Chain A
Amino acid sequence: MSFVKDTLDGVKATFTGLATTFREMVRPPVTIQYPEEKRPVRPRFKGRHVLKRYDNGLEKCIGCSLCSAACPADAIFVESAENTDDERYSPGERYARVYEINMLRCIFCGYCEDACPTEAIVLGDNYELSFTDRRSSIYTKEFLIEPVPEGGKATPQKVEPGIYTRSVPAMKDPED
């Protein structure tokens, strides 16, 4: 009788398997059509860096190099220069003339974010970091900086003298 039993078991197994197949046929698919379609990332995902701007378009980055000092992979290179009111990039006296991140080195640890005194550098949600040669692994400031927000002006700006004297935004009293 083992023959009948074996056959029945086979049929059962086939249908069990097919049931999974048919069930999955009517279920929505798990895969997505990348790159047309993108999967949302977690709130604390650490993707490609973005250099932020203030609402008026001035760059938050003041070229202090603290990100580069904090970077364990030595991926960031900053070169600063002096702002003037005729050519203002950021509040205060100093701005980043050159800002480069070598994406071959970056380990996305986020220390640069922690070190930044003006919250200028933020690890965004962009994970599309492919490049085909070493040169293009170096992301420049022009590439990293976010677009000028609506209502703001592009940098360098010509501004009234005496307004943007402070590099680091006024700190709140920790008691408050």
Chain B
Amino acid sequence: MMAKMVSLTIDGKPVEVPEGTLVVNAAKKVGVDIPVFCYHPKMEPVGMCRMCLVEIGRPVIDRASGQPLREEDGSLKIQFGPKLETACTTPVSEGMVVLGATEKVKAGREDILEFLLTSHPLDCPICDKGGECPLQNLTMGFGPGESRYLYDDKKHLAKHVPLGELIYLDRERCIQCGRCVRFQELIADDPVIAFSQRGRSLEIVSYSEPGFDSYWSGNTTDICPVGALTTADFRFRARPWELKAAASICNHCPVGCNLTLNVRREAVSGGKWVLKRVMPRQNEAVNEIWICDKGRLGYHFGAQNAERLEKPLVRKNGELQPATWQEALELVTERFQSVGRGLITLASGRLSNEDLFNLGKLTRSLGGKSILYSSMAGGDLTTQIGFAPGTNFADMGKESAILVVGSDLEEEAPLWWLRVRQAAKRGATLIVLNARQTKLDRDAHYSLRFPFGTAAAAVLALVNTLSPKRPELPESIQELARSSELKAAAKAFAEAKDAAILFGGDGMGLAETQALAQACANLLLITDHFGRPNNGLLGVWPRANDQGAWELGWQPSMNLPADLAQAQALYIVAADPVSDDPAYLNAFDGQKFVVVQDLYLSQTARLADVVFPAQAWTEREGSYTSGERRVQRYYPALQPNAALPPRVESPGSRRAQVLTGLRAELDGPQADFAIPAFLAEKLGYEGFVHASASLVFARLAAEAPSFGGLSYQKLAEVHEQWPIVGRSDLYYGGTTYENTQGLGVQLPLAQGGASLLSWPQVADFKLPKLGGIAFPITRLYDRGATLMHSQLLHKRIGEPYIILSKQEASRLKISQGGFVRITFTDAERSVVVQAKVDEGLPERVVLAPRSFGLPISGPTPVELKPAG
């Protein structure tokens, strides 16, 4: 349904915009700048700052005839109001005339700026916003050169107020626009900062513990139109104009937020390029203009530091010792060749499409087996009935339904939480089906709970109410299945024009997520919600490129320890199974040949025979496939410690040989796609490329069907996005970067479709009478290798812990924060951890966060004892 269009003129330019558009946005569309401070295109207007005052005239309508009156020359008679009006709160109307550059308007702006500056410290030289500051820019553009106020009367306030350890407040600089407070309340739904006091004493306070306790806090520094809010990470680290920008993609979760990495050469790092800050880059189909704090502050893993591996390591006399690439590659080639089919390549979704393609191809050529290191399955279904091209959460509204099942969405993929929530606010039916309460429940229309361990059965219960074919449901789910709320939710889902399902691995392991994915697929298939935009299945994967791995044919193993134990040689890339679960230690018995390729000397790498140093995603090119099946490019921001010597491939073969012979010895870390190609070259395989990521991608596009027709050029295409942000007019959208480097391309769905309907086996799941079952949960801030390098977040990450039910806590006589010894019966391993008590948790259920050093990959029996 098209909205009614309204035409008006702004500063003499005719404009046509949909009804309800605000004057300030209409002006933006035709390139007329109406300055604002409190207005933000992503939030409802409040009209607090009065910066956007303009003259607005409306046609005079004759009361009797209802016709507009005309001047003598035939033009419409326009009547202007006696006062200036706020362009940010006034919607357009037919025939409106907006004047934004008259003397009256200029005088109004001058006065507002003069007021704002009465107590502004004007310490721009040391302000981190200086250079990208709306107040600075607008004062230059519209402000008075001089103030009539006395400098002595300036109010002096605290300049160093930590709102928690991540965000600092400078009270003097604050102009009280309320953007940050409104963002936290309306968009982040974490009202943990607020205004206190009144008038000139107004200040921003945070009473949460820890201060400013939100995963979204960094965004407030982007939209703050002055330097009042700054991140602890970037404070005084560089001036904005000194920074160089490189487009990148966040690699923490499957959302694939578009980032801009700001780098600068740093003298104290010996003149090297150093990552100074991470900023969001606009992609309205992915992250809009937001990123979570993990993406913003958790980048240090990809930075260059002393712990990074510099040289290949080879085990000699029982110890890993530095070696040349030549030596290491030759050794690995020889051993892999002799093992052949006995090779297992284990890689994680932290790798790019190009890496996984080359690794998979090498493994196939050797006759080995590729295994995706992941705690979730079901990607075979998302490649076929996943999000179809054209899917965008922003397009989901009144006629859509979204089912989120088995996922604590804000913890697992924060931006999806934000976008799903906004879809629900626009009117989409949101069904949250979980074993426990999550933040998304606040916005759910149907908030359903299934007993722990019965996620797939709960989805089948939805299917049951809709389908004539009724799969048997286990006993434990019957109560939910009979509830009228579930029936209503199923009906709403089936009747929605578009419907999408997000499934996660909350409380589940591989087998459980496989069953859940199948159940979800069934629901989509019987309700015909697949194969077209804004429909389909979305996996809330643990890693950034898990979807890409599935698209390229990688799959996890249902029994990884056994597979690893049987292998004769292991090639482990960007995965650290030993720190995740010491059970894997058994696989490293010293009999098999183990090659590890990583950035750091991980626990697994310590056990390897050969370690290859890899380049971080900040140092090289590549592409990730997001959960929404969008292939997105990232670009190098830093120079690798030693640049890859280019292999000359294009000139005639003889010349190439000579030129290649001239290149320097391979040195320093290499790209993950290049190392398998080096091995392939030594093994004499054809069809491997290592010169550049774009060449690998070209091969990939030629060989992997779903990537057909794609190229780096295509991925780099952009089109105009709304709102217009990141240009010189920083006052409008904040310091988010404009996207000029590529919006990415969504992959077409693989063939399969309706043939996927099959009924997963759902065994009845009952909690034990004694002991307990630990269910894995995902926390955004975990103790995984990718986050522990970010010192700033350590306090938020905290020590390892588990969550207990009230009954369990009272049985063990433990209070909140007490210590408990948890024994994983299967793994025969026990750990002492802190206990948190959740009153909503059923008895016998223990929640154990992943990547906190606890050996948990799925529901696991445990025993608990108090630890003194």
Binding site for B on A (CB under 8 A): 62-66, 68-69, 77, 79-82, 92-94, 97-98, 100, 117-118, 165-168, 170-174
B306 lies within 8 A of chain A by Cβ: no
Q: Which of B125, B152, B159, B242 has the most chain A CB atoms inside 10 A of its CB?
A: B125
> What does the 1/0 interface line of B146-171 toward A look like (CB < 8 Å)?
10001110000001100000000000
- Complex-state Cα separation, A81 to B236, whole angstroms: 6
Which residues of B lie under 8 Å from residue A65 when comparing CB positions? 238-239, 242
Q: Is the CB of B239 within 8 A of A64?
A: yes
Residues of A close to B150: CB separation below 8 A: 173
B122, B125, B151: the one within 8 Å of A172 (CB): B151
CA distance A171 to B121 in the complex (A): 10
- The answer to whether A167 and B267 touch (CB under 8 A), given A69-B241, A93-B160, A174-B146, is no
Q: Could you mark each residue 234-267 of chain B with 1 if its beta carbon is under 8 Å from any beta carbon of chain A, else 0?
A: 0111110110000000000000000000000011
Closest to A90 in B: B126
Chain B residues with CB under 8 A of A168 = 122-123, 125-126
Interface residues on B, range: 20 to 34
* A167 to B172 Cα, complex, angstroms: 13
Q: Is the C-beta of B268 less than 8 angstroms from some C-beta in chain A?
A: yes
B235 touches A92 (CB 8 A): no
Which residues of B in the span 127-147 have a Cβ within 8 Å of any Cβ on A? Answer: 130, 146
B146 and A64: CB pair below 8 A?
Answer: no
21 contacts between A and B (CB under 8 A): A63-B236, A65-B238, A69-B239, A77-B267, A79-B267, A80-B126, A81-B236, A92-B123, A93-B126, A93-B159, A93-B160, A93-B236, A94-B236, A98-B268, A117-B125, A118-B125, A166-B121, A166-B123, A167-B123, A168-B122, A171-B122
Per the bound structure, the CA–CA distance linking A63 and B267 in Å amounts to 14
Contact partners of A69 in chain B: CB under 8 A: 239, 241-242
B125's partner among A97, A167, A170 (CB-CB below 8 A) is A167
Partner of B236 from the list A82, A98, A166 (CB cut-off 8 Å) is A82
Residue from A80, A92, A97, A173 within 8 A of B151 (CB atoms): A173
- A29 CB, min distance to chain B CBs, angstroms: 47
Q: Which residue of A lies closest to B235 (CB)?
A: A82
Question: Residue among B130, B146, B151 with the most chain A CB within 10 A?
Answer: B151
> In whole Å, how far is A66's beta carbon from the nearest beta carbon of chain B?
6
Given contacts A62-B125, A93-B160, A166-B123, contact A80 B237 (CB under 8 A): yes
Known contacts: A80-B237, A93-B236, A173-B152. The answer to whether A62 contacts B126 by CB under 8 A is: yes
Shortest Cβ gap from B764 to chain A (Å): 59
Chain A contacts of B266 at CB under 8 A?
A: 79
Whole-angstrom CA separation of A105 from B663 in the bound complex: 34
Q: Is the CB of B236 within 8 A of A80?
A: yes
Question: For residue B159, which residue of chain A has the nearest CB?
Answer: A165
Q: In the assembled complex, which residues on chain A have CB atoms less than 8 Å from the CB atom of B238?
A: 65, 79-80
Separation of A94 and B121 alpha carbons in the complex (Å): 15
* Distance in angstroms between the alpha carbons of A25 and B523 in the assembled complex: 113
- Scoring B130, B146, B160, B267 by chain A CB atoms within 10 A of each residue's CB, the highest score goes to B267
**Chain A min CB distance to B132 (Å):** 13
Given A80-B237, A168-B126: 11 more A-B contacts, CB < 8 Å: A65-B239, A65-B242, A77-B267, A80-B126, A92-B126, A93-B236, A165-B159, A166-B159, A167-B126, A171-B122, A173-B152
Contacts of A170 in B (CB 8 A): 151
CB distance from B258 to the nearest CB of A (A): 28
Q: How long is the Cα–Cα vector from A66 to B127 in the complex, in angstroms? A: 12
Collect the chain A residues with CB atoms within 8 Å of residue B125's CB.
62, 64, 66, 117-118, 167-168
Min CB–CB distance B686 → chain A (angstroms): 48
In the bound complex, residues from chain B placing their C-beta under 8 Å from that of A166 are 121, 123, 159
CB of A79 within 8 A of CB of B268, answer yes
Q: What is the chain B residue whose CB lies nearest that of A94?
A: B126
Contacts of A66 in B (CB 8 A): 125
Residues of A with C-beta under 8 A to B242: 65, 68-69
Residues of A within 8 A of B126 (CB): 62-64, 80, 92-94, 167-168
Contact partners of B146 in chain A: CB under 8 A: 174
Q: In the assembled complex, how far is the CB of residue B436 from the closest CB belonging to chain A, in whole angstroms?
A: 42
For the complex, what is the distance from the CA of A93 to the CA of B237, rounded to whole Å? 12
Select A100's contact among B130, B159, B267, beta carbons within 8 Å. B267
Complex contacts, B121 vs chain A, CB 8 Å: 166
Going nearest first, the 8 A-B pairs with the smallest beta carbon separation are A64-B125, A94-B126, A98-B267, A117-B125, A167-B126, A65-B239, A94-B236, A173-B151
Residue of B nearest to A165 (CB): B159
A167 to B130, CA, bound (A): 14
Rounded to whole angstroms, the CA-CA distance of A82 and B159 in the bound complex is 13
- Cα separation A65 to B242 with both chains bound (whole Å): 9
How far does the alpha carbon of A68 sit from the alpha carbon of B241 in the complex, in Å?
11
For B94-123 the 0/1 string (1 means CB < 8 A from A) is: 000000000000000000000000000111
Quote the shortest CB–CB distance from B843 to chain A (angstroms): 50
User: How many Å lie between the Cα of A118 and that of B123 in the bound state?
Assistant: 11
CA–CA, A171 and B151, complex, Å: 7
A residues near B159, Cβ cutoff 8 Å:
93, 165-166
Output the least CB separation between B157 and chain A (Å): 10
Say whether B237 contacts A97, CB under 8 Å: no
* Complex-state Cα separation, A117 to B127, whole angstroms: 13
Nearest CB on B from A62, distance (A): 5
Name the distance in Å between A164's Cβ and chain B's nearest Cβ: 11
Bound-complex Cα distance A117 to B121 (A): 13
